[in-house]
Amino acid sequence: MGCGAGAAKLSDPQQQEPKQSSSELQGSASSQSAALPLPIIADNQSRLVIEEQLYKLNPVWADKLLSGSQELPLQAAQLVSWRRARWELWEEEDGLQLSLSSRAATDKRTIVSWSGQPPNKLKAEALPKIKVTGKQQVRKSKKVNRAEGDVSEQMEGEDFQVEVIDIPEEHKADPKELSPFLVNFEADGKAKCFVIGCEDELSCAKWVANLKLYSNIEQRFAGAIMWKLNATVHSALPDNWRDSILDNAELADLQNWRRRLCYLEKLKSTSYLPAGIQGLCITYISEKADAEECVANILASVQNGKEAKATASIRLLPQITVGELTKSSEEHVKMSIQQYDIAVANTGHSEMKECILPTTLHAFEVHQMDDCGLKTSVFAFEERIMCDRFFRAVESSSSSLSKKGSLGIVGK
């Protein structure tokens, strides 16, 4: 950008700005980076949660269920009332999006807003399995025009013969039964619903479980990639482990950590808190858990939407120098990271980046103070700046839950 006026300005010694040293520039960049809030989705990267070829019930018949009924209209037994399409569930910057794409149409809806506005009214319920009869609508075959010879060589205005080749559309065997589920949400202040059919019950259960997981999120404040110390390793540490972190071989062994996608979220409910009490939680995604609630710690509880209190405290730990790994151990850790990225982020092998393991970890401890069944956890970032940004997100989110301001979760 800019040669003209910009170059002229720099050539005038009276108008030149004083040069900054490399250390000053690094300090300025670090300060700016530390001031940035954490993104809602980790690394600002959209995440594909689940995708599959499913069937959508004609909206005319689906809207019959807006009244709260779970009984499908008689027309749903006719396969002609359903349209096969690819369905995808995406975590985007502004919220959770459900998208449909087929040859006939595309549709993309935000069904959960991370900001909590509009309020999360997402509901998902499995409906009774139904038998379907008839056939799908017959789609016209594509037609491709193929000219004899190279068209570029034809004289302008000269007649030439065109052969029409019929390419039949790929057709999948029509299902005899469907396992449908209902998705209710709000868009533009109006109640909306989809009825989506799966060809097997397992697929239906998986979609419903994922959607119910997101229906429990009242607000998401931040997302980040963090390292989580294995619970078995943490529980086996001696009582004075904090006094000898720099010499602790267990903490320095990267094989004892797991790289995880973590979130700071306010949940409507959790099995660790009594009914009616919401929680500000650190949650994470495990490739082993199939759409299950993974709550690492509850930082604060909120009763009746008003009374907030801290239930955990966070404090920074000394920097950990990662120990050297054997070649086989290093490959094992890298393989674990890649498998997680594929399973959780639906990343294909062709999209995988080179895996570079950290040499230092900037860890912090979450000490669970209440008796909710959750234990103390240790997390770590690869950069100290990320710790600062996460702490600021905790302070900001906890303050927003309390009229008294900061709940004092982050220790000094």
Q: Considering only CA atoms, which of 53, 78, 75 is closest in space to residue 62? A: 75
All CATH 2.30.29.30 domain ranges of the chain, comma separated, are 47-136+172-210
Q: Are 178 and 54 in contact (CB under 8 A)?
A: no
Q: What is the domain class of 47-136+172-210 according to CATH?
A: mainly beta
Average pLDDT over residues 356-378: 92
Rama region for 335: left / alpha / beta (φ>0; ψ in -120 to 50; rest): alpha
3-state class of 52 per DSSP? strand
Give pLDDT tens digits for 47-68: 999 999 999 999 999 999 998 7
For 185, phi and psi rounded to 5 degrees? Answer: -160, 175
Count of C-beta atoms within a 10 Å radius of residue 28: 11
Which SS3 state, helix, strand or coil, does residue 75 take? helix
Q: What is the mean pLDDT of residues 326-353?
A: 82
pLDDT at residue 148 in the model: 45
The predicted structure's pLDDT at residue 383: 95
Instruction: Classify 359 in phi/psi space as left (phi over 0), alpha (psi -120 to 50) or beta.
Output: alpha
Handedness of CA 175, 178, 181, 183 (dihedral sign): positive
Residue 386's pLDDT band, with cuts at 50, 70 and 90, is: very high
Is the pLDDT at 223 greater than 70, yes or no?
yes
Q: State whether the Cα torsion 223-224-230-233 is positive or negative.
A: negative
Q: Which of 169, 276, 275, 262 is nearest to 221 (CA)?
A: 262
The pLDDT assigned to 3 comes to 47
> How is residue 190 written in tokens?
């109006």
The whole-angstrom distance between residue 305's C-alpha and the CA centroid of its chain comes to 26
- The pLDDT value given to residue 178: 97
- H or E element that contains 38: none
Of 129-143, 262-276, 324-338, the least confident: 129-143
Q: How far is CA 182 from CA 91, 120, 195, 211, 241, in A?
A: 20, 16, 5, 10, 50
Rg (CA), the chain: 28
pLDDT higher than 90, residue 23? no
Q: Mean of the pLDDT values across residues 108-114?
A: 95
Question: Could you give the CA distance from residue 293 to residue 273 in angstroms, rounded to a whole number?
Answer: 13
Strands, E, within 230-359: which ranges? Answer: 257-267, 277-285, 295-303, 307-310, 312-316, 320-321
Whether residue 129 contacts residue 177, with contact meaning beta carbons closer than 8 Å, is answered with yes
Pairing of strands 82-91, 217-229: unpaired
Task: Work out the average pLDDT over 183-201.
Answer: 93
Least confident range of 74-88, 98-112, 248-262, 343-357: 343-357
Enclosing H/E stretch for 168: none
> What span, in angstroms and rounded, lies between the C-alpha atoms of 155 and 159?
9
pLDDT at 412: 60
Residue 16 has pLDDT above 50, yes or no: no
Q: What are residue 144's DSSP bridge partners?
A: 165
Summarize the confidence of residues 186-197 as an average pLDDT: 92
Sequence-separated (6 or more) residues with CB below 8 Å from residue 74: none
Nearest-5° Cα angle at 216, 212 to 218: 145
Q: Among 1-15, 52-66, 86-100, 134-148, which stretch is predicted with the lowest mean pLDDT? A: 1-15
Averaged over 28-32, what is the pLDDT? 53
Of 13-22, 60-69, 235-244, 354-363, give the range with the top mean pLDDT: 354-363
Spatial CA neighbour of 57 closest among 67, 71, 46, 42: 71
Determine phi and psi for 216, rounding to 5 degrees. Answer: -90, -5
Q: Which of 193-207, 301-315, 327-341 has the lowest mean pLDDT?
A: 301-315
Task: Examine the pLDDT at 85 and tell me if it is beyond 80.
Answer: yes
Strands 190-198 and 177-187: antiparallel
CB 80 within 8 A of CB 136: yes
pLDDT for position 4? 39
pLDDT, tens digit, 9 for 90 and up, residues 117-158:
999 999 999 999 999 998 876 555 455 454 444 434 443 444
DSSP three-state, residue 3: coil
**Would you say 250 and 237 are in contact if contact means Cβ atoms under 8 Å apart?**
yes
How far apart, in whole angstroms, are the C-alpha atoms of residue 285 and residue 263? 9
The Cα–Cα gap between 83 and 239 comes to 61
Share of the chain above pLDDT 90, in %: 61
